[in-house]
Structure 1
Amino acid sequence: MLLNYKPIKHNIFGAHLLIEHLVLEVFCKANKSSYKSKLNSELKILIDKNKWFDQSIKKIYVICRDLSSDEKNALKTAFITNNKIKDLCANPTLKISLDTLNEELLDEVIPFFKELYKRFLTWVDVKNKYGSKKEYYDDLIKYNNLKFCPCCGYGQIKTIYDKGHSAFDHYLPLKYYPFSVVNFNNLIPLCTVCNSDYKGETDILNGNKKVFYPLTNDIQDINVSIDFDKGILPKLIIKTEEKADKLKEKDITVNFDKSGEEVLSWNSIFNIKGRYFGEVGTNRVSWLNDVRSAYRKPRILTYNDAFDEIIEDDSNKYLGFLKSPYLKKMKSFSFLVQAMDEVSGDYIM
């Protein structure tokens, strides 16, 4: 992740404890007793008001009642382990595959948890006690003071003033980790491009390589640097999208100041370097034109000063984390800066 969300305390994390009770105290302890006798008071209220919830729990309970002790223990272990999101990100080998569970149980459990995500958090009794996703989202965004997606650094995410909220991504996908359905340690707001266009239902732990954990107080800011050879300067200075002259990804190198499995996984899952190349390629001429505009200010005497002003002033603006290192690289070609001084802002150098 380019940035991370610093976690906050919120009642909505308690919603997962209800599901934990359902799995560990009801399903995993199923016997000849009625399933209702094992429900806590909150779950009893919910099944009384939601027929689908009641019928689904009853059906799964009947299956669990016939499971062996080993099969029940397997369910318990899978639920507990696959909800330790931070631990799994640091050590993916800990994850437990659904294939280890009873097949008949899975046929009921997987669709149940998928449907539960759509329904559970909308129920009035749940929202009254634990709050809504929108309330949690707004508190998280305000606390972290984020304007853009922390994963890519520039994708749009909704503000606290928007009617809704950006989608919560099941960081460990619901398809493979259904037990974390309402575990907000696994529900991360990401922009649509990161969430839907790239990650989708990809099991980010597949391959057993470490991945970034998005909710942490550990600062994991990553700085980007841009590199290219002087031979492609003509393509950078004058915008042309003709096929023969079009920039290629090999023309511009995107580097990070951190390495390791987490960085490799992040880049692979979200195609970060490819997307950053695309943004540099798209904006390269307009960014240089910003330097030209700065040069025209009376107090700016040289293009060297103009580069410095834009690099500093725009570093924290939209795409500034790419714009500033790109312009730093441009400025490193002293002959280019000298030529710009000599022609005083003309386009032909």
Structure 2
Amino acid sequence: MLFNYRYVNHDIEKFQVWLDHLVKKVWCRNGGEYSLSLLHPDLKAVVEEIANDDSLTKDHLDGPIKIIDAIFQDQLDSDQRDQVSQWYDHNNDIEALCGNEPQKMPGTYAEIKSLNNNLESELKKFCKSLFQDIIHLKAVTSRTAEIDAHYKAFVTANDEGKCPYCGYNDIKGQHHNKREAYDHFLPKGTYPFNSVNFKNLAPMCHECNSSFKLQKNPLRHIDPIHKATGGRRRKAFFSFANVAPSITINMTIASAEVDKLIPSDITLTVSSPGRDEELESWMDVFGIEERYKAKICAKNDGKYWLVQAVDECANGRMTPQEIIDKIEQNANSNPWAEVNFLKRPFLKACKEAGVLP
């Protein structure tokens, strides 16, 4: 990704604390009958309030928690429960997984299934419902916070207004009544237990989220032929890292007829010293090369940038080198404004190709 989000501590994270207790202290316990008193006190109150709410027609928590607890206690042995407990810890250390730390091995639903088919089925339903349904219920939000409140706090702290995964699409900010969708960076359909972990959740533009990221797994190499994940583990950029990635974009243009420019005329070179795996993951998952080349070839993007530059030269207001210097200055001070981070290498390529006279 082109820049990092700043993490925002928020009351909505309380739900993850309840989940920590549920998995580690209740489901993974060794022996003893299940009772509501085993739950975190706040989760116990939520379960009871939901159970007594006649307006709710679905058993959101009490039944699913009991069903999964019975599987843990009756169908898993002590070693298997310890294994699930370890997977829980690893799956919620998002930064360590993105860094491909060898001592942190994530657990997938496929691995849960290898332990117990019933557990995999029930956990998948339960973890999916946590983000889709349960964290939005009044019994929960009255004790934590609404997700819209988290979003407002998030975009107030992260006010760039651009999507860090592509660099050019807008992210709705604090002055909008609507919000962007939260993406599960490590896909919730692959990894259990982190569907309400806000270090695995971040706003993402619609194009990145719905057209490119989808259910791709950034932690696994993507087969370039079949476009499927499942290969070797690799590092990925952590959305909330303290150190921002240093990404350099360069390009060359093979054709002097920029008005007829097509993607195959462009050679795009993207580098990030010492971050080759993270760069590969980002470019694979978000279709960066395809999207950047398409933007360069678009009439109202790259081709228009060149028209503006040529007009400046024709009117005698600036020389080609002065234009390049100005864009360089803009890209250094405001890289995400007016797509300066991409405009800079494109106009440099135009000058080198003799297109910018």
Tell me the TM-score normalized by structure 2: 0.84
Q: CA deviation digits over 1:194-232, x for unaligned, max 9? A: 112112112222220111111111121423222224xx1
Aligned equivalent of 2:56: none
1:128-167 pair list within 5 angstroms: 128-167=142-181
Q: Assess if the C-alpha contact under 8 Å between 1:60 and 1:108 holds in 2.
A: yes
3-state DSSP of counterpart to 1:121: helix
After superposing the two structures, state which structure 1 stretch, 90-99 or 157-166, moved more: 90-99
Instruction: Choose the corresponding residue for 2:296, options 259, 280, 284.
Output: 280
User: How far did 1:250 drift?
Assistant: 5.2
User: How far did 1:297 drift?
Assistant: 6.2
State the alpha-carbon separation in 1 of the partners of residues 177 and 339 from structure 2: 25
Q: Assess if the C-alpha contact under 8 Å between 1:83 and 1:180 holds in 2.
A: yes
Q: Report percent identity of matched pairs.
A: 28
Aligned equivalent of 1:121: 135
Instruction: Choose the corresponding residue for 2:92, options 55, 61, 83.
Output: 83
Aligned equivalent of 1:219: 244
Q: Assess if the C-alpha contact under 8 Å between 1:26 and 1:35 holds in 2.
A: no
State the alpha-carbon separation in 2 of the partners of residues 74 and 18 from structure 1: 20
More helix as a share of residues: 1
Instruction: Choose the corresponding residue for 1:248, options 263, 273, 281.
Output: 263
State the alpha-carbon separation in 1 of the partners of residues 68 and 170 from structure 2: 40
The yes-or-no answer on 1:38 pairing with 2:38 is yes
Instruction: Choose the corresponding residue for 2:345, options 304, 317, 325.
Output: 325
Tell me the TM-score normalized by structure 1: 0.86
Q: Assess if the C-alpha contact under 8 Å between 2:236 and 2:278 holds in 1.
A: yes
State the alpha-carbon separation in 1 of the partners of residues 46 and 117 from structure 2: 27
Q: CA deviation digits over 1:214-269, x for unaligned, max 9? A: 1111121423222224xx112x1xx23xxxxx613353324334441110111111
Does the C-alpha gap of structure 1 residues 312 and 294 become closer, same or farther in structure 2, counting only changes over 3 Å? farther
Aligned equivalent of 1:204: 218
Does the C-alpha gap of structure 1 residues 219 and 40 become closer, same or farther in structure 2, counting only changes over 3 Å? same
Q: Assess if the C-alpha contact under 8 Å between 1:92 and 1:205 holds in 2.
A: no
Q: Assess if the C-alpha contact under 8 Å between 1:254 and 1:276 holds in 2.
A: no
State the alpha-carbon separation in 2 of the partners of residues 205 and 331 from structure 1: 39
State the alpha-carbon separation in 1 of the partners of residues 323 and 186 from structure 2: 45
Aligned equivalent of 1:69: 78
3-state DSSP of counterpart to 1:329: helix
Aligned equivalent of 1:11: 11
User: How far did 1:273 drift?
Assistant: 1.3
3-state DSSP of counterpart to 1:225: strand
Does the C-alpha gap of structure 1 residues 82 and 286 become closer, same or farther in structure 2, counting only changes over 3 Å? same
Which structure has the larger Rg? 1
Unaligned runs of 5+ in 1: 241-245, 341-349
Q: Assess if the C-alpha contact under 8 Å between 2:72 and 2:81 holds in 1.
A: yes
Unaligned runs of 5+ in 2: 52-58, 221-231
User: How far did 1:280 drift?
Assistant: 0.7
State the alpha-carbon separation in 2 of the partners of residues 58 and 183 from structure 1: 22
3-state DSSP of counterpart to 1:197: helix
3-state DSSP of counterpart to 1:76: helix
Q: Assess if the C-alpha contact under 8 Å between 2:68 and 2:122 holds in 1.
A: yes
State the alpha-carbon separation in 1 of the partners of residues 99 and 290 from structure 2: 25
Q: Assess if the C-alpha contact under 8 Å between 1:28 and 1:64 holds in 2.
A: yes
Q: Assess if the C-alpha contact under 8 Å between 2:3 and 2:245 holds in 1.
A: yes
Which segments of structure 1 move beyond 4 Å, counting only runs of 4 or more? Answer: none
The yes-or-no answer on 1:96 pairing with 2:107 is yes
User: RMSD in angstroms over aligned alpha carbons?
Assistant: 2.2
Does the C-alpha gap of structure 1 residues 105 and 292 become closer, same or farther in structure 2, counting only changes over 3 Å? same
After superposing the two structures, state which structure 1 stretch, 188-197 or 289-298, moved more: 289-298
Aligned equivalent of 1:243: none
